[in-house]
Each structure stands twice: as structure tokens, then as C-alpha cells.
A and B are shown apart, each in its own frame.
Chain A
Amino acid sequence: MNKQDSIISKRQKLHAVRVLRDRIFVVGFGLAVIIGILGLAALLFDVLVDGLPFMNINFLTSYASRKAEHSGILAPLAGTIWIVGMTALFTIPIGVGTAIYLEEFASKNRINRLIELNIANLAGVPSVIYGLLGLALFVQFLFNGSRNVTAGALTMTLLILPIVVIASQEAIKAVPSSYRHAAYAMGANRWQVVKAIVLPQAIPGMMSGIILALSRAIGESAPILIISSLVWVTFIPTSPDSKFTVLPLQIFTWISQPQHSFRGIAAAAIIVLLIVLLSMNGIAIWIRSKYQSRPDQ
């Protein structure tokens, strides 16, 4: 009896230890989440308190000024939209195309593995290096010294291409090969399989990667400082050859001004940047759900 009792109590103790360990980890993970969210909340709160008083229609429709209260973000907002739009235009076909080639068409030989390794490494190169590359390659070589939106967008394309390729590759890898085999069994060729089976399945995952990458492009100021360098612009880019500035550059300039009032409009510009980012994420979620909820899957 006694022996049995001690075994039971030993088991109970072990059980209690396991439960305790479980709780500790749950609390620990919860804390990790809370720290992240609190940081974000504090940041948002700070930006909203500083920036909201300056948010009005004039702020969105006027150009920058030496007087904070007359300043607006029309030029950098338009520049950011141009840059992101054109970057998406360049990045999506090239990035998705690269991923499809590497995953579906390329044989797994040494050269292709080397290419993949290089792409992964490129994702870690500091953005300012891409700025210098863009200055030499696009501004000086391709556009003959013209520091235009296209040069900016192409530079951003180089910057985010590795992220898009890697994310797209992962999305393609996640498509079960049994789907491909079924399509092959029905007589489809490789391109038909990619088009009809792999891509529709992979698009939600690709979209997440593309949007994350474009969000990075929106927030970059270092390469654009090198490509454009302009921080006072009183026109909207009207063609791919226009000069331009972008929101992060304008925010950077305002924050480094000595006058305190500029910090308020910098915060207001950050709010606008966040809204642009959130609406882009919204579009991504919409596209993802559109593809995921199709009845025939």
C-alpha cells in the first residue's frame, strides 16, 4: 500500500512539475507577445499624439515649406506612390519569374544552387549599397545622369527582388507535388502545370512576400537619398523621367530640423506612411482571401 502511495505521489509530483513548466512557457510566450505589442502601441500612441493635430487636408495637398504649419506632403506622397507602383511593376514579373524558373524548371545542379545561395545573400546587403549601385548603373549609365523615378524604382527593385524571389520560392514549394502529378497524368505540360496548378495555389503566399518586400521599399530612405537627394520638391512626378522625393526622406529631413514644430509634421507624415502601408497590406489580404476562398479548391 505504502509503496503504491509513494508511486502515486511521485507521479503527481512529476505531473505538477510538467504542468508548472507548461504554465511558465505559456506565460513566457505571452510576455514576449505583450512586449512586442506594447512597443508598437507606445510608438503608435506617441506618433498619433504628436501628429494628429497637424493632419488636415492642407497637409495632404500642399508642398513642403520652411514654416512647419504651412508644410504639406503632396510631393513626397506622390513620389512614394510612384516609386512603389513602379517597383511593384518591375519586381513582380521578374521576382515571380525567377522563383518559377528555379523551382519548376531549373535542374538542381551546382550552378543553380549557387544562384540560390547568392540570392539569399543579396537579401542581407545593406540598402545604401543598392543606392550606390543604382546611382552608377541606372542614373549614370542607363539614364545619362537623370535622377528620375524610374532609376529610383529600379534601385528599389534590386533591393527587394531577393526577398520576393525567396518568398515566392517558398510559396511554390508549399504546393503539394501530388497536384502536379495529377495534372501531368492528365497530359498537361510543364508550363500548363505551372500556370493552372502551381501559381493559383502559390499566389496567396507570394502576395504576402511581395507586400512585405514593397513595405520595405516604402520605408527606405538611404538608397533614395543617394539616387534623388531632393528633399524640397514643389511638383508631382508626371512621367517616369520626373525628379522626385519620397516620404521617408521628407520625414528624415523634418526630424533633423532644429525647430520643434517640424517634429509634429514629421509625426503626421509618419501617420500617412502608416496608412499607405496598411492599405497595401489590406489589398494583399483581399487578394489572398479572394484566391483562398474559391469553391473549386
Chain B
Amino acid sequence: MIKNEFKKFSKPAIVFTSLLIVGIIAACGGSGSGAESSEILIDGSSTVFPISQAVAEEFRVNRPEVQIPVGISGTGGGFKRFVEGEIDIADASRPIKESESEQAAANGIEYTEFVIAYDGLSVVINKANDFAACLTTAELKMIWERGSTVDNWNEVRSGFPDKPLRLYGPDTDSGTFDYFTAEINEEEDASRADYTASSDDNVLVQGVSGDQGAMGYFGFAYYTENSEMINVVAVDDGDGCVTPSVSTINDGSYSPLSREMFIYVNNASLARTEVRNFVEFYMNNAAELAEEVGYVGLSDADYQSQLEGLN
């Protein structure tokens, strides 16, 4: 009986151990082989991701042999890999920082920057809120700045009703947060902290749509997809109230909350035909594809002038 038990157990044990060894050998053997040439590796901002995904998807319709995996490490995470030469293209929702570009220079990485689309950060309120259709940047700053204690709409402007004001916004890791605080609060990352923060903008949409006194801010696409559930606030930066829309974001009149989206391309990668073809394809199709996924394209001339810089 004991002998029988021996057999029963030792078989799976041997199988496991041998598979383990095979696995490790295969893994080590494989890692030396290096990257395949027909691969364009993209990583970075999850905000830019839908545009890069859309462009890569369309590019692969005619060039299925080129693999273009796209990651979402975040703008900072993407640049970290980019300056090490790990990836070909970095998706970014802000320009590269000086420290990052110094790092790239130190590693001998040269790169080219392309603006690919605009996003209009949209300030939104509950559907039932009919009084705050337009707010000035000064009022937004008063509400959102560090140390602000505004918790009722009647503190925002005399004439606004006595209604509790509750705030919803992206968490501090978000590029949207960085941009909004820099433009509205005039100091990057300086914001009051007592608001409902979420890294998922859909959670913010739910929060604002279910709370009559709510105010929040997030990317334009999340407003347009949910425009039947929430109201958008026009922003007055001294030149009158401007509502975010494709045309006001595109012509720059929706200011200061329009921001540019970038891709950064490693020049060494750009020397490869498929990367160059991909970047050209990107610039030629970004306007249409960006709008399809909820962003605002540049003018054709702006795309072409950036491409001319390539030659």
C-alpha cells in the first residue's frame, strides 16, 4: 500500500519540477533574443491612450505585420521608460519636464515632440443646478484653492442660493489634476483636499449627477458622453463666458482649460521605416480619430507643419 502511495504522489511532483525547470530555461533563453524589429512600443498617459490605440488599430489594418502594443503607465511612468530608451513612443498629457529631458540627454536619447490633439477640461455641475451656468476663473480659484473653506454656493457669488457645495475631482496622481491646479489655482498640485477624489472619471460623473449641490471637473470626453446627466459650466477668463465645445477648444477660445496632448518619439526609432510611417499616419489621421474617441483635433495645417519639421 505504501508503495502504491509513492507512485501516486511522485508522478505529479516530477511533472511539476520538470515543467518548472523547462519554464525557467525557456525564459532565460528567450530574454536574450532582443526586440523584434516590426514592433512599435508605446506607453504613457492613460488619457492619450484611446487616441494612440485608435491610430494603431487603423494603421494595422494595412500593416498587420507591425505589432503596436500600447500601455498606460501614466505620463510620468511613460517618460521614465522613454528616457531609458525602453519604448519608441511616449504618450503624454503634459510637455516633458526639464528633469526628464535632462535624463534623456544623459542617456543619449534624442526625441521629437508632436502635439496630437486637445482636451478641454470641463467643469460640471448637477443637472438641477440652473444658476451656475458660467463661472469666472477667479470664482473657480476661490472654490478650489488650497485652504479654501467654501462649502455653500452662496459664498461663491452673492445671488447664488443657499445650497451646500460639494466637490468632486480627480485624485492627485492625475495629469488632469496637475493641469487644473496649475491653471486655476496658479500653483501646480496646490488644491484643497476635502473633496471626493477618484482616479476613475466615471465615478466623478456618477457623483455629480447624483448630488444637487455638486461641482466637479474632468476631461471633455467624459462630459460629452454624459451630457444628458450633467451640465457643463462656461468659464470666463475675462473675455466673457466660453462653453467647452469642439470649436471653442479647437480655436483656443476655451481658455485656460484647453490642454494639449503629445506624443514623444525617440529619434533612433524614427529612423526605422515602420515607426516613421506610423508617425506620419498618426499626424494624418489624428484629427478624425481623436474626435472619434472624444478629443478635439488640431487644424490640418498644424499637423502638416509638424510633419514638415521631420524632413
Contacts and interface: CB of A to CB of B under 8 A. Distances in A.
Interface of A: 64-66, 86, 89-90, 92-93, 143-146, 148, 150, 183, 186, 188, 192, 195-197, 199-200, 225, 228-235, 239-241, 243, 253, 255-260, 296
Contacts of A66: 50, 53-54, 57, 289, 292-293
A234 B27 contact: no
A192 B9 contact: no
Contacts of B73: 225, 229
Nearest to B85: A145
Interface of B: 1-2, 4-6, 8-10, 13, 16-17, 19-20, 23, 26-27, 30-31, 33, 43, 46, 49-50, 52-54, 56-57, 60, 67-73, 77, 84, 86, 199-202, 219, 221-222, 224-226, 289, 292-294
Contacts of B31: 143-144, 146, 148, 241
Contacts of B53: 64, 66, 232
Contacts of A196: 2, 5-6, 9
Given A232-B69, A240-B26, A241-B27, A258 B200 contact: no
A186 B77 CA distance: 62
A240 B8 CA distance: 29
B197 to A, nearest CB: 15
B16 A234 contact: no
Given A93-B20, A143-B27, A234-B67, A253 B222 contact: no
A93 B9 CA distance: 13
A240 B73 CA distance: 22
Nearest to A63: B57
Given A92-B16, A255-B200, A231 B68 contact: no
- Give the secondary structure class of B's interface: helix
Given A150-B23, A200-B8, A253-B46, 15 more contacts: A64-B53, A66-B53, A90-B23, A93-B13, A144-B31, A195-B6, A229-B72, A234-B67, A235-B67, A240-B30, A241-B33, A253-B49, A258-B202, A258-B221, A259-B225
Nearest to B35: A146
B50 A257 contact: yes
B86 A145 contact: yes
A230 B226 CA distance: 27
B69 A243 contact: yes
Contacts of A228: 71
Q: Which of A233, A240, A243 has the most CB of B within 10 A?
A: A240
A173 to B, nearest CB: 19
A182 B226 CA distance: 71
B12 to A, nearest CB: 9
A231 B200 CA distance: 16
Contacts of B225: 258-260
Contacts of B57: 65-66, 232
A233 B71 CA distance: 9
A89 B19 contact: yes
Given A150-B27, A255-B202, A258-B222, A231 B72 contact: yes
Given A195-B10, A255-B202, A296-B1, A231 B70 contact: yes
Given A148-B31, A239-B30, A192 B2 contact: yes
A221 to B, nearest CB: 11
B60 A241 contact: no
A89 B20 contact: yes
A143 B16 CA distance: 23
Given A65-B57, A66-B57, A183-B2, A256 B46 contact: yes
Q: List 3 A-B pairs, minimum CB-CB distance, nearest first.
A: A241-B30, A229-B71, A150-B27
B101 to A, nearest CB: 21
Contacts of A64: 53
